[in-house]
Amino acid sequence: MNKVSFTSIILNEEKYIERMIESVVDKVDEIVIIDGGSTDNTLRILRDYPQVKVVSKVFNYHFGDQRNFAIQQTKYPWVLMLDADEYMEEDFWKILPDLVNQNKYDAFKFKRKNFVDELFDKKNYPDIQVRLFRRYCRWIYPVHEELVGWKNSKVLETHIIHKKDSTRHLYRNRIYEIVSQIFKDDLPKS
């Protein structure tokens, strides 16, 4: 079976990191976390997981660069990449071996169920996201990144669960606005 690396870029994720790690531990062949300079208890929590490799790279507010650095730190042909406040539905793990041992697709997309304060955000469903892809793919754009380098992809029926509280939701949206202003010349024209 082809092996799978899991990676995530994080910064001050003490509230979410354990749930994400618990959702992938013993289900992937490698876990690589890129820490952007956390000052909360995130790194202390990660020390409880000896199978997790933590690499530090100060976050320069370019999400695409940070994600590409994460891919470069992995070693297996397939990469599963989630945000700290995401996890996969359990049925995903049953189909993962078939996904990574086929030759037709280089990327898989998932419907994402977004929850803010435990309330399902119906208006943004299905919010399709690429989260499993071959290691040679790369991210472009500093915010609202796009994965490139794949030829064939498939949208799967299993879901990404994205749970956050309203404080995080507002904070992250503000960060996205700031990054969009900083890198406005690097973003696609809409």
Structure-derived torsion over alpha carbons of residues 180, 181, 183, 184, reported in degrees to the nearest 10: 90
| Token representation of residue 1 | 């079976």
| Among candidate residues 144, 128, 146, the one with its CA nearest the CA of residue 177 | 144
Examine the pLDDT at 117 and tell me if it is beyond 80: yes
Examine the pLDDT at 169 and tell me if it is beyond 70: no
Paired with 31 in beta bridges are 6, 52
Integer Rg of the chain from CA:
16
| Token representation of residue 183 | 């890198």
**What kind and span of H or E run contains 8?**
strand 4-10
pLDDT digits (tens, 9 = 90+) for 62-76: 999 999 999 999 999
Per mean pLDDT, which range of 37-41, 57-61, 107-111 is the poorest? 57-61
pLDDT digits (tens, 9 = 90+) for 27-56: 999 999 999 999 999 999 999 999 999 999
* DSSP per-residue letters across 104-144: S-SEEEEEEEEEETTEE-GGGTT--EEEEEETT-EEESSSS
* Per-residue confidence (pLDDT) for residue 126, from 0 to 100: 96
Examine the pLDDT at 15 and tell me if it is beyond 90: yes
Q: Specify the 3-state DSSP secondary structure of 45.
A: helix
pLDDT digits (tens, 9 = 90+) for 129-167: 999 999 999 999 998 899 999 999 999 999 999 998 877
Examine the pLDDT at 187 and tell me if it is beyond 70: no
- For residue 183, what is the DSSP state? T
Domains located in the chain, CATH noted = 4-186 (3.90.550.10)
* Per-residue confidence (pLDDT) for residue 41, from 0 to 100: 99
Examine the pLDDT at 26 and tell me if it is beyond 80: yes
Which of the four pLDDT bands, split at 50, 70 and 90, describes residue 98?
Answer: very high
Mean pLDDT of the chain: 93
Per mean pLDDT, which range of 10-14, 104-108, 176-180 is the poorest? 176-180
* Per-residue confidence (pLDDT) for residue 113, from 0 to 100: 98
| Among candidate residues 95, 161, 107, 103, the one with its CA nearest the CA of residue 132 | 107
* Per-residue confidence (pLDDT) for residue 183, from 0 to 100: 72
| Token representation of residue 21 | 């790690």
User: What gap in Å lies between CA 50 and CA 48, rounded to an integer?
Assistant: 6
Examine the pLDDT at 8 and tell me if it is beyond 90: yes
| Among candidate residues 9, 38, 53, the one with its CA nearest the CA of residue 142 | 9
User: What gap in Å lies between CA 43 and CA 35, rounded to an integer?
Assistant: 8
| Token representation of residue 181 | 């202003």
